[in-house]
């Protein structure tokens, strides 16, 4: 099967969790009401891809509970294929609480023993993965459990056997594991991918240096096309001797930076799935990331292809 003929542009997998956050100015535990939503880097990206006109799929394991069922309904409603997602009675859907107090965001996770952390290689449908043009995952899944890391390695082997391109965002979460444990695992996974999508601060953690030249040299040694988010007010492609830098898109106002990285990844992968060059895909990623931070929400602000086309000057908005 030729890559361009595969039925699904991008498949993602990982943990999606329920999300609770205070409404109004009160913080968690201060007696105010809480709003609910959901989030997870991989499911956010699947939604972003679907909104950008790509076919996308997400799979993972959720609890057989109202939160898990609600997540699946929302993903289905966004046009994401969830045919391989699972629900189980062996663990609950994970939960995260988020607050923003005096301009500082904090996230609290309740995911130990979650359904997602019990994901195993035997839960994988190899034929489904082989149907993808690109398979995307993040380092968050590797941090959840040893069986989740085994599952990632198995998925990578399936991708390699079926010429499915691999995209990997390390998404370092130091509330899930310390950097000494994370570093060798994430660097191992970076060696296996076709597109490596770290933030610049993550590069400093992974390569144990603040020296820009050393970081660039280490990225050049990877087989992947590396895409650095937020490097000197730019997004940057590094691949062997090639470096391409694109300044951030200007924004009118920054409302919520949560989800900016997922928005960028969705835009970049959408460009690659559409057959664009990495440089063209980088511009789309920068645009989608800039749009996301101008509205609140993990995934709610992800733009549609029509919105992107208007900003690119390829269509006109008719108000009424």
Q: What six digits make up the tokens of 204?
A: 């400093």
Q: Tell me the C-alpha distance between 267 and 276, whole Å.
A: 11
Greatest CA separation for the chain: 57
| Residue 233: DSSP 8-state | S
| Alpha carbon of residue 224 to chain centroid | 17
Q: Verify whether residue 262 is a known catalytic residue.
A: yes
Annotated catalytic residue, options 81, 169, 262, 298: 262
Q: What tokens does 203 get?
A: 């590069």
Report the run of H or E that residue 130 belongs to, with start and end: helix 126-130
Region at 138 (left for phi over 0; alpha for psi -120 to 50; beta for the rest): beta
Helix residue ranges, H only, the chain: 41-51, 66-77, 126-130, 139-144, 146-161, 179-190, 200-207, 212-220, 260-273, 278-292, 305-311
Classified as helix, coil or strand, 81 is strand
With a CB cutoff of 8 Å and minimum separation 6, the contacts of 181 are none
Please identify every residue annotated as catalytic. 262
């Amino acid at each position: 099967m030729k890559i361009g003929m595969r039925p699904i542009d991008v498949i993602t997998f990982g943990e999606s969790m329920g999300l609770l956050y205070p409404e109004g100015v009160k913080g968690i535990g201060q007696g105010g009401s809480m709003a609910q939503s959901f989030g997870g880097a991989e499911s956010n990206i699947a939604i972003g891809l679907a909104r950008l006109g790509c076919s996308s799929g997400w799979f993972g394991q959720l609890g057989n509970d109202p939160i898990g069922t609600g997540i699946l309904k929302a993903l289905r409603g966004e046009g994401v294929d969830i045919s391989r997602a699972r629900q189980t009675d062996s663990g609950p859907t994970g939960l995260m609480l988020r607050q923003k107090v005096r301009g500082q965001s904090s996230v609290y996770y309740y995911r130990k023993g979650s359904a997602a952390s019990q994901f195993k290689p035997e839960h994988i449908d190899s034929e489904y993965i082989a149907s993808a043009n690109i398979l995307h995952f993040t380092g968050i899944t590797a941090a959840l459990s040893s069986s989740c890391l085994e599952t990632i390695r198995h998925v990578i082997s399936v991708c390699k056997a079926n010429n499915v391109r691999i995209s990997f965002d390390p998404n370092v979460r130091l509330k899930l594991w310390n950097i000494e444990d994370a570093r060798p695992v994430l660097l191992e996974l970076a060696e296996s991918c076709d597109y490596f999508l770290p933030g610049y601060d993550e590069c400093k953690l992974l390569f144990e240096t603040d020296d820009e030249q050393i970081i660039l040299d280490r990225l050049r040694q990877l087989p992947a096309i590396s895409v650095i988010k937020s490097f000197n007010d730019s997004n940057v492609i590094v691949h062997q001797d090639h470096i391409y830098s694109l300044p951030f898109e200007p924004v009118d106002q920054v409302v919520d930076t949560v989800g900016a990285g997922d928005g960028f990844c969705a835009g970049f992968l959408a460009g690659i799935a559409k057959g664009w060059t990495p440089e063209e895909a980088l511009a789309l990623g920068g645009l989608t990331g800039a749009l996301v931070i101008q509205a609140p929400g993990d995934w709610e602000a992800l733009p549609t292809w029509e919105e992107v086309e208007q900003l690119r000057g390829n269509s006109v908005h008719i108000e009424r």
